[in-house]
Structure 1
Amino acid sequence: MEQKIMEVMRRMQDILSKEQLRELQSALRVTFNGCELQPRSELMVLDDSWNGDLEDFLMSKALEGKSQATIIRYRYELERLLAYINKAVIDITDSDISNYMRVYKRIRNIKNSTLKGVRSIYSSFFSWLRDRDRIRKNPMVLVEDIKVPIRVREPFTDAEREKLLRECRTLRDKAMMEFLYSTAVRVGELVKLNRGDIRFSTKDLIVCGKGDKERVVYLNERTHMYLLEYLESRTDTNPALFVSLRSPHKRLTDKGVEDIVRRTGRRVGVKAYPHKFRGTSITNALNRGMPLQEASCMAGHVKSDTTLRYAQLDQDSVRYHHKKYLSA
């Protein structure tokens, strides 16, 4: 029995934290105390025949242009799934995957939005296998979809953005927040930029976004001014666009930018995070008349439907037009 308990622990060690593993071990020992196991004649064999299929799939995704971070995420999620199910891919059923997803959600206590992303990875893998006749049918067709509630995320008001700007304690923070709003870049895109990427004469720059897709973004007048002042004030030689204040002035990370924005927001009572600047930029552009196709291009969205979600956030605009057109 103890050997079986340890086998369960081994299977779950990549899913649970150390504390959760200890709790699981204790629960199993209490539950099976006094029980006996009847031995089977055959031994359980670990099936890793899926390794070749997984490597081929990941190579295919790399050739499609998926980023290294995406490939790593695919590998991580698929290895966990396939090792847990412990079957050849041709024998995996929808029930195997559904059961694993239910365990995954319950044990890790993840949100449906996270689980939906994981499900899409599984779907991509098994669709790839089916398209190449490596499996007879795609089990993901029968795996239940994940419902994710659509939450309205309010953009910054003009007053809130002004409060944040006035509360910035350094020229770097002012330039960075205005840059986030003007360009609508993602924080992951921001931290990769270098000083040499900025074309001050034309007030624009090229950003490399998801899937290594490039797009041109633009600086408004205030961003242009703050950015020039910030760069002229620097004495370091780091090529990064935004760096830490203290020597050796390292390139800011995603977490570093998030901390700066959140701390500034807390000081003025505004819920602030970097992606909210992006949402505000897209929302304001759409509500102030920018064509959908151009807003999608600015945001780096492959599908216009993604951009359209931001067009529904400005309730003041909805209220104004409702009064204008439906008051009678």
Structure 2
Amino acid sequence: MTGIRVSELVALDRTDLDVSDRKGSVVVRSGKGNKERLLPLNAEARRAIVKYLEDRTDSNPALFLSNRQERISIRSVQHLMEKHGHNVHQTRHSFITGLVRAGEDISIIQSLSGYTSADMILRYSMPSDEDKQRAVERIFKD
């Protein structure tokens, strides 16, 4: 998981990918505000992308293709995610929230998410109802 925006995902080309056995990354060139950023890929993502590309026999520059062998559309990604019980925006939100709750440095979160404003990151640190309940319960524990 990278926290990439769906519009950034569908714009990726094969040349944006740099993968080896030990590490890998993808360059997002069409981010919001036309800001370029480098996203690291974990081992699972690297394996899945390598396998996907090994199975392709075309020369299309797009990293991800639809079943019609064209660059996949935003709507297609949304449909695939929904088919498997996921929401595109919620998945990105969960990624960023996970980084915030893990105590990652705000500059790292900004770099990975593509947000230029720290205020946007602070939105993800809003406590959930469960967080508030746990805090109240901890106060009165023996």
1:1-328 alignment to 2 at 5 Å? 182-201=1-20, 202-208=23-29, 209-246=31-68, 249-265=69-85, 272-312=86-126, 314-324=128-138, 327=141
Preserved contact between residue 37 and residue 111 of structure 2 (Cα < 8 Å): yes
Alpha-carbon deviations, 1:153-186, whole Å to 9, x = none? xxxxxxxxxxxxxxxxxxxxxxxxxxxxx21111
When residues 325 and 253 of structure 1 are mapped into structure 2, their CA distance, relative to the original with a 3 A threshold, is: same
AA aligned to 2:25 is D
- Give TM-score, length-normalised by structure 1: 0.39
Amino acid in the other structure paired with 2:27: I
CA distance in structure 1 between the partners assigned to 2:66 and 2:40 by the alignment: 24
Distance in 2, Cα, partners of 1:187 & 1:284: 19
Question: What TM-score results when the alignment is normalised by the length of structure 2?
Answer: 0.86
Q: 1:321 offset after TM fit, Å? A: 4.8
Letter in 2 for 1:278: R
**Match of 1:311, SS?**
coil
Structure 1 pair 319–186 and aligned structure 2 pair: CA distance change class (3 A) = same
More strand by share: 2
> Larger helix proportion, structure 1 or 2?
1
Letter in 2 for 1:214: E
Contact kept, 8 Å, 1:242 with 1:251, in 2: the verdict is yes
Aligned length: 139
TM-superposed deviation, 1:298: 1.0
Q: What's the offset of the Cα at 1:293?
A: 2.1
SS of the residue 1:312 aligns to: coil
Quick check: which has more Rg, 1 or 2? 1
- For residues 202-241 of structure 1, what are the alpha-carbon distances to aligned partners after superposition, in whole Å with 9 as ceiling and x for unaligned? 3112213111111111111211111111111112221111
Contact 2:14–2:61 (8 Å) recurs in 1: yes
Structure 2 stretches of 5 or more lacking a match?
A: none
Over 3 Å counting, the alpha-carbon distance change for 1:236 and 1:314 in structure 2 is: farther
C-alpha distance in 1, partners of 2:72/2:53?
Answer: 15
> Partner amino acid for 1:216?
L
Identify if the C-alpha distance between structure 1 residues 236 and 320 changes in structure 2 by more than 3 Å, giving closer, same or farther. Answer: farther
**Are the equivalent residues in 1 in contact too, given 2:66–2:73 (CA < 8 A)?**
no
Question: For each residue in 1:22-76, what CA deviation from the matched residue of structure 2 results, as whole angstroms up to 9, or x when unmatched?
Answer: xxxxxxxxxxxxxxxxxxxxxxxxxxxxxxxxxxxxxxxxxxxxxxxxxxxxxxx
User: What's the Cα RMSD here?
Assistant: 2.0
Q: Shift of residue 194 of structure 1?
A: 0.7
- Say if 1:283 and 1:313, in contact at 8 Å, map to a contact too: no
Q: 1:252 to 1:327 in 2, by over 3 A?
A: same
Higher RCO (CA < 8 A, seq sep 6+) = 2
Tell me the CA shift for residue 277 of structure 1: 1.3
